[in-house]
Amino acid sequence: MTLALDPTAQDLLFREAHTAYTFSDEPVSDEQIRAVYELVKYAPTAFNQSPLRITLFRSPEARSRLVKHMSEGNKPKTSTAPLTAVLSVDLEFHERLPELLPHAPSVKDTFFSEAEARESAGTFNATLQAGYFIVGVRAAGLAAGPMSGFDRHGVDKEFFGDGRQKSLLVVNIGRPGEEAYKPRLPRLTYEDAVTTV
Amino acid sequence: MTLALDPTAQDLLFREAHTAYTFSDEPVSDEQIRAVYELVKYAPTAFNQSPLRITLFRSPEARSRLVKHMSEGNKPKTSTAPLTAVLSVDLEFHERLPELLPHAPSVKDTFFSEAEARESAGTFNATLQAGYFIVGVRAAGLAAGPMSGFDRHGVDKEFFGDGRQKSLLVVNIGRPGEEAYKPRLPRLTYEDAVTTV
């Protein structure tokens, strides 16, 4: 046993988890997403900057406005998933740093007074958090369908019109439906991906 | 029980996991990192592009070359951690797409013939994978110390001189040492981070 995590959890989060392409009708509750957030919020970001924001699309009206911006291949599943989340970065995340990093509140101004520095660090750290969130959805026993195929500028203009947030990833969430999974694709070998120096 | 993941695993991966600032002398074996990789390789990337590369710094000579590029506050722990990994993006990841996406090999040229498209998608997806990797290190019962404080251009020039890879994150890995952890910092509430529309 090289891993401390038990095999059932390994399967749930990684080995038997697949991106879902169809979903059942079973709803996803706010309590489930709250439980996911309350778990993954602990995973690390630089200076604890915690720049990820999550927008849950529940109302049919909001959902149809979102679907318009999805690529053609992503429209049907985004229309029918029990819940769809837009993951975004808050480009003004630094405003919360005095609370999030109480022992070093000056980091807010020392490192993040420039919009360019915030966009770079915020996007990187919110993307790490997007990875944690996908693992967290699986920890809830739910299937995730992350999608990069959408019109970022369209989504940002329609839902984040003040420019404060930028969308990163759209994630369908639910129980897998019929023929939800495609066969597992190959992965790079350890030797391909890892080098020792 | 809103989460399917058992509480012990929740604690191991998230709730009781902390960024480590000191490490014990216990070595981290290649087998442990292989087990981490063989687990987290299954987590999703767009088009299965799998752009993350991991460079393990084992030799004292390579380690000291890396430490030079770390910010002052990160030098001591990077010198003394049992193992340090540089996580990077392979900007030519598309070359492997015909193997990784055998049912749609044309994606290589349709979407990724331009270096700019590769850098944008590759950086995003490798960063998601960096998030999975940090969770995977914890799944091995190890502590991770991820660091953004280093000279990216210096690291890239010194270790990825052909320009094919760009560094994203440096991660110290090992068993926690004495006074390894700082007190848990506050996190944003669910209401702060999550909006429903």
Q: How many domains does chain B fold into?
A: 1
Mean pLDDT of the residues in chain B: 96
Mean pLDDT of the residues in chain A: 96
B23: helix, strand or coil: strand
Q: Quick check: A141 pLDDT over 90?
A: yes
Over range B70-88, report the average pLDDT: 97
Cα–Cα distance, A168 to A38 (Å, whole number): 21
Name the residue with higher pLDDT: B43 or A161: B43
Q: Chain A 13-52, CB below 8 Å of chain B: which residues?
A: 13-15, 17, 19, 30-44, 46, 48, 50, 52
Max alpha carbon distance in chain B (Å)?
Answer: 54
Q: Quick check: A162 pLDDT over 70?
A: yes
Residues in chain B within 8 Å Cβ distance of A55? 194-197
Neighbours of B57 (CB within 10 A): 23
The chain B residue lying nearest A45, using CA atoms, is B146
> Where residue A128 falls among pLDDT bands split at 50, 70, 90?
very high
Over range A4-29, report the average pLDDT: 96
Residue A164, chain B, CB below 8 Å: the answer is no
Q: Answer yes or no: do A3 and B102 touch at CB < 8 A.
A: no
pLDDT digits (tens, 9 = 90+) for A144-160: 999 999 999 999 999 99
Q: Chain B 62-91, CB below 8 Å of chain A: which residues?
A: 62
Residues in chain A within 8 Å Cβ distance of B187? 41-42, 48, 50, 100
Q: Answer yes or no: do A193 and B17 touch at CB < 8 A.
A: no
Q: Quick check: A32 pLDDT over 90?
A: yes
Question: B190 pairs with which residues across the strands?
Answer: none
Residue B174, chain A, CB below 8 Å: the answer is no
Residue A121, chain B, CB below 8 Å: the answer is yes
Q: Is residue A60 part of a domain?
A: yes
The beta strands (E) that lie in chain A are given as: 52-57, 83-90, 143-147, 165-174, 194-196
Q: Is residue B197 part of a domain?
A: no
Residue B178: C-alpha distances to residues B25, B51, B74, B80, B182 (Å): 11, 35, 17, 13, 11
**Which pLDDT score, from 0 to 100, does residue A78 have?**
96
Residues in chain B within 8 Å Cβ distance of A10? 39, 139
Question: A150 pairs with which residues across the strands?
Answer: A70
In the β-sheet with A143-147, what is the strand arrangement from edge to edge? A143-147, A165-174, A83-90, A52-57, B194-196
Neighbours of B103 (CB within 10 A): 8
pLDDT digits (tens, 9 = 90+) for A37-96: 999 999 999 999 999 999 999 999 999 999 999 999 999 999 999 999 999 999 999 999
Q: Quick check: A1 pLDDT over 80?
A: no
**Which pLDDT score, from 0 to 100, does residue B30 have?**
95
Cα–Cα distance, B188 to B193 (Å, whole number): 6
Q: What is the DSSP string of B59-92?
A: SHHHHHHHHTTB-GGGHHHHHHSSEEEEEEEETT
Q: Is residue B124 part of a domain?
A: yes
Q: Answer yes or no: do B5 and A9 touch at CB < 8 A.
A: yes
The chain A residue lying nearest B53, using CA atoms, is A193
Which among B9, B19, B58 is the nearest to A44, CB-wise?
B19
Q: Is residue B87 part of a domain?
A: yes
Q: Is residue A113 part of a domain?
A: yes
Q: Is residue A184 part of a domain?
A: no
Residue A102: C-alpha distances to residues A53, A112, A125, B20 (Å): 21, 16, 19, 19
pLDDT digits (tens, 9 = 90+) for B57-77: 999 999 999 999 999 999 999
Burial B13-22 (b: 16+ CB within 10 A, else e): bbeebbbbbb
Q: Is residue B80 part of a domain?
A: yes
Listed range (A51-55, A182-186, B52-56) with the worst mean pLDDT:
A182-186
Over range B121-127, report the average pLDDT: 98
Can you give the CATH number for the domain in which A109 is found?
A: 3.40.109.10
Tell me if B18 sits within 8 A of B143, measured CB to CB. Answer: yes
The torsion defined by the Cα of A187, A189, A190 and A193, in degrees rounded to 10, comes to: -70
Angle between helices A30-40 and A115-139 (to 10 degrees): 120
**Which pLDDT score, from 0 to 100, does residue B1 have?**
65
The chain A residue lying nearest B90, using CA atoms, is A193
Over range A19-26, report the average pLDDT: 94
Q: Provide the CA B122 distance to its chain's centre, in angstroms.
A: 14
Q: Is B179 exposed, middle or buried (0-12, 13-18, 19+ CB in 10 A)?
A: exposed
What is the span of the domain harbouring residue B47?
Answer: 25-178
Neighbours of A184 (CB within 10 A): 11
> Where residue B4 falls among pLDDT bands split at 50, 70, 90?
very high
CB pairs under 8 A between A and B: 233
Residue B7, chain A, CB below 8 Å: the answer is no
Q: Is residue A188 part of a domain?
A: no
- Residue A78, both tokens: 């985004």
Residue A152, chain B, CB below 8 Å: the answer is no
